[in-house]
Amino acid sequence: MSTKGNIMETYGRFNVIFDKGIGCKLYDSNGREYMDMVSGVAVNCLGHSSPVIAKAIEEQAKKVIHISNYFYNTNAIELTEKLCSQSDHEAVFFCNSGTEAMEAAIKVGRKYGKVKGGEAKDTIIHMENSFHGRTIGALSVTGQYKYQKDYMPLMGGVQSVKMNDLEDIKDKMNENVCAVLIEPIQGEGGINSASAEYLQCVKDLCEEYDALLIFDEIQCGIGRTGSLFAYQNFNVIPDVIAMAKGLGGGFPIGAVMTNERANVLQPGDHGSTFGGNPLACAVSLAVLTELVDGGIIAGIEEKSRYFKAKLGKLKSKYSFITEVKGMGFLIGLAMDIDVKAFSSKCFENKILVATAGKDVIRLLPPLNITLSEIDEVVKLLDEVMEEISKEVSEETKSGM
């Protein structure tokens, strides 16, 4: 079978077809096994072919899949309760993806501005180097020109600032700001963490100027950092949280959750045909129950420490690794070699990794990965690095 067919070429893809997966392994159409450290880009939190997810899909599909948002469904009510009971928030809007969650969050911010300050209070502050999605609203608040340049004009009323630079945001904050948007740990931008002090100061500024603090936890949320929500690591509670990816463990679902202050949307303000349907909510409920009540999140910190210690040893062995960064299972390996070439070498050696920013390799294992699987990952990475370091030293010898 051709890998391409008539699929629109919007992605730089590897030339492979995967048609089976178990845990953190994927199998291509020729039956070759790959260690998957991409996890559908931080989505497959329970790994591939999770029996928990399969059971939830099967049981719910036999009851009712979709009914529309003209009516309530039990699963959406229970999922809302679960999310709120695990956070400091009280209201949830469901959608189907990360970028849609961002659109909803932006609308919450804008509506808050209108309610509190009238037409002029419409500015959304966002961070340089951030990534929030591909639809025009989310793209407008994404701090990377390369994603925006061919789609101008974008949405107005946005202002970018440098993350972790307090003076910059203090300069740009005023009474016309309705919301400040931040990924507590930038994923696509290179696994860059905001400092707890910065987040606290931004929160204080939001209170001073009556603006909402919105966290994009689409990549860093749902257990990935070792707590269900990333904000729980920083002790700074945002007014609004956008989530998706791991929320359905591979089944499409996104959500925006607000506290009382930010719960401003009213009937007719926003909607989504598929958002929060019984099937998506059944899967998400099963995923969250497994992550939280099944003890998976509780085990992440220790496994992450183990993983990072091993990666630290690789850093000592290979000088082209400049930093091991990130939190929980959102791990970055910064390198001073071409990371695209590194990820291609990994692919050849049957380990799948993602890149982030210009110089980072992203490792996003399923959250239930075992210690012996981590050992396998480290062994495969070591082999790739060994090969690369030989190539580098041969190039140096031959004076290239």
Ligand X SMILES: Cc1ncc(COP(=O)(O)O)c(C=O)c1O
317 neighbors 379 (Cβ within 8 angstroms): no
Q: Closer CB to ligand X, residue 216 or residue 239? A: 216
Residue 99 lies near ligand X (rule: CB under 6 A): yes
Residue 225 lies near ligand X (rule: CB under 6 A): no
Q: Name which position in 16, 28, 41, 175 contacts ligand X (CB under 6 A).
A: 41
| Structure token pair of residue 278 | 């019984």
Q: Name which position in 47, 187, 248, 365 contacts ligand X (CB under 6 A).
A: 187
Q: Closer CB to ligand X, residue 219 or residue 227? A: 219
Site for ligand X in 166-185 (CB under 6 A): 183
Cβ-Cβ contacts under 8 Å for 301 (sequence gap 6 or more)? 226, 328
CA angle at residue 250 from 246 to 251, to 5 degrees? 105
Residue 343 lies near ligand X (rule: CB under 6 A): no
Residue 290 lies near ligand X (rule: CB under 6 A): no
For tokens 């209170």, the residue is 207
Taking the complex as a whole, the smallest distance from the CB of residue 185 to ligand X amounts, in Å, to 9
Taking the complex as a whole, the smallest distance from the CB of residue 173 to ligand X amounts, in Å, to 23
Taking the complex as a whole, the smallest distance from the CB of residue 297 to ligand X amounts, in Å, to 19
Is residue 252 reached through a cis peptide bond, with omega within 30 degrees of 0 on the bond before it? Answer: no
Residue 98 lies near ligand X (rule: CB under 6 A): yes
Residue 97 lies near ligand X (rule: CB under 6 A): yes
Q: What separation, in Å, do the N-terminal and C-terminal C-alpha atoms of the chain show?
A: 40
Cβ-Cβ contacts under 8 Å for 305 (sequence gap 6 or more)? none
Q: CA 80, CA 93: separation in Å to the nearest integer?
A: 9
Residue 36 lies near ligand X (rule: CB under 6 A): no
Question: What phi, psi does 150 have (nearest 5°)?
Answer: -90, 5
Q: How many positions of this chain bind ligand X (CB under 6 A)?
A: 15
Q: Closer CB to ligand X, residue 103 or residue 122? A: 103
| Structure token pair of residue 267 | 């009937």
Only one of the segments 113-121, 125-133, 286-294, 304-312 lies at the binding site for ligand X (rule: CB under 6 A); that segment is: 125-133
Q: Name which position in 131, 231, 307, 342 contacts ligand X (CB under 6 A).
A: 131
| Structure token pair of residue 259 | 């506290």
Residue 219 lies near ligand X (rule: CB under 6 A): yes
Taking the complex as a whole, the smallest distance from the CB of residue 136 to ligand X amounts, in Å, to 13
Cβ-based neighbour number of residue 338 at 10 Å: 15
Taking the complex as a whole, the smallest distance from the CB of residue 41 to ligand X amounts, in Å, to 6
Q: Closer CB to ligand X, residue 277 or residue 374? A: 277
Q: Name which position in 89, 111, 132, 345 contacts ligand X (CB under 6 A).
A: 132
350 neighbors 33 (Cβ within 8 angstroms): yes
Residue 94 lies near ligand X (rule: CB under 6 A): no
Q: CA 213, CA 211: separation in Å to the nearest integer?
A: 7
Helices and strands (H and E) in the chain: how many: 12, 17
Residue 218 lies near ligand X (rule: CB under 6 A): yes
| Structure token pair of residue 132 | 């929030």
DSSP string, 161-177: E-TT-HHHHHHH--TTE
Only one of the segments 18-26, 45-53, 128-136, 381-389 lies at the binding site for ligand X (rule: CB under 6 A); that segment is: 128-136
Q: Point out which residues bind ligand X (CB under 6 A).
A: 41, 97-99, 102, 131-133, 183, 187-188, 216, 218-219, 244
